[in-house]
Amino acid sequence: MRIATFNVNGVNGRLPVLLRWLAETEPDVVCLQELKAPQGGFPEAAIKAAGYAAVWHGQRSWNGVAILARGAEPIETRRGLPGDDDDIQSRYIEAAVKGILIGCLYLPNGNPAPGAKFDYKLRWFQRLVRHADALLAHGVPVALVGDFNVIPTELDVYKPERWLGDALFRPEVRDAFTRLVNRGWTDAVRELHPDERIYTFWDYLRNAWGRNAGLRLDHLLLSPKLAGRLKSAGVDAHVRGWEKASDHAPVWIEF
DNA sequence: ATGTCACAGCAACTGTGA
């Protein structure tokens, strides 16, 4: 069983990249972020033809999240985080797939910081922590998966000093991530590779991919039951080198 | 600041967010 997450940066603009990667790696469950497509603009037919059923929460221009399952129908359990009825951004969708509850999230970027966008990020994070607590309380196997827009530690960034003031790396955000994980979650990739420099994102600017100037932003957090079944984890970094690539690479775990 | 990408609105290019 393989679960993957991929910030596609435009599900229609990147459709050839997405389909090529799906055919190559055949993950069982896929969480997508940054669809950048309205609800009616999701390429459902092409994804179905690739063997995947999907639930998604679209939004025009920005955001948008989806959960894909190979040979199974994801049963949607929630769209949108609780705690703010005025938040209309499509950043969270949740579904049950093959006995696992999957929360697919796209945490706000938060730049520029400080400012209104950073405040929104911190509020969204607090809502996520509360909801994550509720999920753990159910006692079922849960994975919280997606683009957290958080560089957790200095090991997750090519040049830490350059990112100190950035909304991806500011102390408040790193603390929030650590607090979330410490409530009972396992950062799957870091658990299996405690000392490795691992990146999942390379900026389009300044030849970041060519210089391997990367960040680790995409994470898979596992509830205790699921963490005990973890066998392997990695990043499909080569996908970042393809034509018309997203600025993120897919990240995956295996049970 | 740098300088790359997708998408919206609109029909060439600028604005926005990342």
The 3-class secondary structure across A132-198, one letter per residue, is: HHHHHHHCCCEEEEEECCCCCCHHHECCHHHHCCCCCCCHHHHHHHHHHHHCCCEEHHHHHCCCCCC
d(Cα A248, Cα A136) in Å, to the nearest integer? 28
Closest alpha carbon to A146 in A177, A199, A104, A178:
A104
pLDDT tens digits, residue range A120-163? 999 999 999 999 999 999 999 999 999 999 999 999 999 999 99
Tokens found for residue A110 = 């938060």
* DSSP, res A80: S
Q: Is the CB of A55 under 7 A from strand B?
A: no
pLDDT tens digits, residue range A178-201? 999 999 999 999 999 999 999 999
Active-site residue among A147, A156, A187, A218?
A147
CB of residue A206 closer than 7 A to nucleic acid strand B? yes
Number of domains in chain A: 1
Active site includes A92? Answer: no
The CATH number assigned to the domain holding A28 equals: 3.60.10.10
% of chain A at pLDDT higher than 70:
100
The predicted pLDDT at position A26 comes to 98
Average pLDDT, chain A: 97
Angle (nearest 5°) at CA A113 between A166 and A6: 55
| pLDDT of amino acid A51 | 97
| A58-96: pLDDT as tens digits | 999 999 999 999 999 999 999 999 999 999 999 999 999
Structural domain range at position A128: 2-254
pLDDT band at A18 (very low <50, low <70, confident <90, very high): very high
- Whether the CB of A205 is less than 7 Å away from nucleic strand B comes out as yes
Quickly give A60 CA vs B8 C1' distance in Å: 9
